[in-house]
Amino acid sequence: MKPLQALAEDLANGRTTSRALVDACLERIADPAGEGKRVFTHVDGEGARAQADFVDAQRKRGVAPSPYAGIPISIKDLFDVQGQVTRAGSTVLAKNAPATQDAPAVARLRAAGFVLIGRTNMTEFAYSGIGINPHYGTPLNAWDRKTGRVPGGSTSGGAISVTDGMAAAALGTDTGGSLRIPPAFNGLVGFKPTAKRVSLKGAVPLSFSLDSIGPIGRTVSCCAIVDSVISGEREGAPLPPAHPVKDLRLAVPQSFVLDDVEPAVMAAFEASLAALRKAGAVIDEIPLKELLELPKINAKGGFSAPEAYTWHRQLLEAQGDGYDPRVRVRIMKGTEQSAADYIELLAARRDLIARVAAVTAPYDALAMPTVAIVAPKLQELIDSDAAFTRANLLALRNTSVGNFLDQCAVSLPAHRAGEAPVGFMLMGAHGTDAKLLSIAGGVAGLLPAGQG
């Protein structure tokens, strides 16, 4: 499926209709040879067709609510959608009553006329960067599907809904990388905004200190469009132009984020840096040894474990056996933190944020590989807890830096055609979301993948 801007132009010029776009998505979802049954936990075919027909009628009368009205978008299963049960990739919530209203992010998409095609599968309760779900199945990575590789998590179904043309874009969440790991593993763009810039209301939480809501799309422009709607910023205004790469100042941390990077990832990252230098970007290698403190700071589970345990405690007592054991054990790690530990964690975060900000202030953004590894083989991680743990830690390591520092970040495709998908991540200071998307728009077209 085309990027959002191209679809908007096709709709405006009568080259397609919302109903045609929706029918094409539903056909791909229903294809028995495809990934639809693992990508979606719920498909609202009847509702999507009715919404598409309504938008088409509005457009004929010249009253469509936005240029993107009628474009199909998928919704991660942890968002409330009126009339639907919010399962968060789990079976223990399956008997809950349907949501009585949309989450604010969903409501804003609906108000702009986006068509909600269905709810996408995810890691149970968003608690891993791999994307395996033993309850609803695991959608296979778009690359090397014959081998069968993980999609990345936790917004696994969202990413595959976009790669496979089941939706034009996806709404997801990011606590440690869930909007960037699946795009890195599948050749897409994912944007994690500054936390709490988009309302978290109506979304099942993982960590209220780290959670953020954002988009996955084919291009930077796709992500910027969805972001402008769900954040309420720049609403109705033109998207910011791509930032010129010449004289752009980027810093590449040499500590922590480059450890144990697979050769294919490092080769794509270095090729990307070379392309940007050739275009006139100023790229400095900086120690940023402050990042080496993160493993010790988060040794007792960081923010996710205690904050998730707080939300899940009663549910675990009642239905703990229904959880994915790998998810349950990570949530239970929250019992290991005392109140004093948590207060010390808050102080350590504030201190690290201030020190890193002082070092990186002269730069427009930080650059690093999104994920240190290419997408692992699914079966190997199902069979081995040790292999799963290692892959999960490496998948989340670089992306989680941005969440802990409360910054914004975007993952761009950085691989050449035919190669394993690799992500190039740009990370911007707190609150510089629009600037970072503008920078990403300039950078993306120069990378080996050439997607802008």
Active-site residue set: 76, 154, 178
How far is it, in rounded angstroms, from Cα 443 to Cα 5? 19
Nearest-angstrom CA–CA distance, 146 and 71: 30
Burial of 419 (0-12, 13-18, 19+ CB in 10 A): middle
Cα–Cα distance list, 81 to 50, 76, 95 (Å): 16, 10, 15
Q: Euclidean distance between the first and final Cα of the chain, in Å?
A: 15
User: How far is residue 297's CA from residue 276's CA, in Å, rounded to a whole number?
Assistant: 34
Joined tokens for residue 49: 């067709």
Nearest 5°: phi and psi at 409? -155, 150
Question: What gap in Å lies between CA 427 and CA 251, rounded to an integer?
Answer: 10
Number of residues that make up the chain: 452
Task: Give 32's DSSP letter.
Answer: T
Q: Which residues contact 52 (CB under 8 A, 6 or more apart)?
A: 17, 18, 19, 21, 22, 70, 72, 115
Q: Are 119 and 42 in contact (CB under 8 A)?
A: yes
Token code pair at residue 282: 């100023």
44, 29 in Cβ contact below 8 A?
no
Residue whose tokens read 């990077």? 261
Range 310-318, long-range pairs (CB < 8 A, 24+ positions)? 310/334, 311/204, 311/205, 312/125, 315/92
Sheet bearing 408-413, strands edge to edge = 40-43, 115-120, 72-76, 169-174, 212-217, 189-192, 408-413, 423-428, 365-369, 249-253, 282-286
Residue 302 neighbours by CB under 8 Å, 6+ apart: 207, 345, 404
